[in-house]
Amino acid sequence: MTRWSAMELPAAGRPLQQVWRERLPRPGAGQVRIAVSCCGVCRTDLHIVDGELRHPGHPVVPGHEIVGRITALGRGVDGLACGDRVGVPWLGWTCGRCSECRAGRENLCPRARFTGWQIAGGYAEQCIADARYVFKLPARYSDAEAAPLLCAGFIGWRAYAMALALAQDVRRIGLYGFGAAAHLIAQVAAQRGQQVFAFTRAGDAAAQALARQLGVRWAGGSDEAPPAPLDAAILFAPVGALVPAALAVLRPAGVVVCAGIHMSDIPSFPYALLWRERRIVSVANLTRADGDEFMRVAAELPLVVHHVSYPLADAERALADLRAGRFAGAAVLQVQPPTSVAT
Ligand SMILES: [Zn+2]
Ligand SMILES: [Zn+2]
């Protein structure tokens, strides 16, 4: 049977529609076809659906935390075979020739194409990916557990690594917005001996409870002050007002890393909050090197991936629950029933 379905966004602000296709997609040169098992639901998907990121002008199949198995190889694919379990992240293609690509900053390539935006993503039973951008997955994670590693994990890792490199001697790190990314990076930081401070929406008891369960030192609302100044803060919540809030609890020469692709406007604030060499930086996308590094970390450290599953056809409900903050951890679309998937 080759009939398969996908959840498609016809235009920004419209509901996703389930569409059916009669033929399996054929991988071109250098590409693989993947039978999708699971796909994570990321806040970036919401920004696309809500029109905060430009709609590419054609129907979009969202989803860039794809886990599945290769079922066909295009010409010239090396190092991958049919049956391999792989993951597909947000970065789907780069030019390889521009000054950013040549300098190791492929995350900033102006011609980059992204999975689930310009390239059809994983809210679907089948997808095509460029073989050079897919990842093998650590065996210790099930398909549903592996999916959130591919963006929440990768972007979280890039933000965390940047915070450590810029602030130096980081012992106390704050995470604003305790969702899919923060719940993974909190475990990485705690297992590496740092004290983690989790800031949630005011009164979000479920997220605060999850944070404490995962080893954070302190959990509270983003309107609360932590018990000690922070060396670094990472903002996963898309709320510009958190920038001055985080600066206000940062030690001198500390850094605020904004990890989201979109954020509401940052309100004006007194220069004294930035004075004494505090910094505000952003993290954009990921490089394949970030992904390789994080997969090595995730293979070594036993990360708990707290996830809530939805059937593919309920993608709209998953997005609505993410928008409203109705679950803790990560949302994952279960595209194929786990029992039908060979390991
Ligand atoms: Zn480039
Ligand atoms: Zn994402």
| CA–centroid distance, residue 101 to ligand 1 (Å) | 4
What's residue 341's pLDDT? 45
This prediction has a pTM of: 0.94
Strands 66-73 and 126-130, sheet pairing = unpaired
Q: Are 46 and 319 in contact (CB under 8 A)?
A: yes
Q: What's the rounded Cα separation, in Å, for the pair 160 and 259?
A: 9
Q: What's the rounded Cα separation, in Å, for the pair 67 and 64?
A: 9
What's residue 297's pLDDT? 97
Q: Which ligand is nearest to the CA of 62?
A: 2
| CA–centroid distance, residue 165 to ligand 1 (Å) | 25
| CA–centroid distance, residue 227 to ligand 2 (Å) | 31
Who's near 264: CB < 8 A, 6+ residues apart?
A: 238, 239, 240, 241
Who's near 178: CB < 8 A, 6+ residues apart?
A: 186, 198, 199, 200, 204, 207, 208, 210, 211, 219, 236, 328
> Vertex 273, ends 268 and 275: CA angle to 5°?
120
Q: In sequence order, what DSSP letters do the residues of 74-100 get, joined into one string?
A: -TT--S--TT-EEEE-SEEE--S-SHH
Q: What's the rounded Cα separation, in Å, for the pair 287 and 13?
A: 30
Cβ neighbour number for residue 229 with a 10 Å cutoff: 14
**Mean model confidence pLDDT for the chain:** 95
Q: Distance from CA of residue 172 to its chain's centroid?
A: 23
| CA–centroid distance, residue 208 to ligand 2 (Å) | 22
What's residue 197's pLDDT? 98
Walking along the chain (343 residues) 10 residues at a time, the average pLDDT comes out as: 92 93 96 98 94 90 98 96 98 98 97 97 98 97 98 97 96 96 97 96 92 96 94 96 97 97 96 98 96 97 96 97 93 83 44
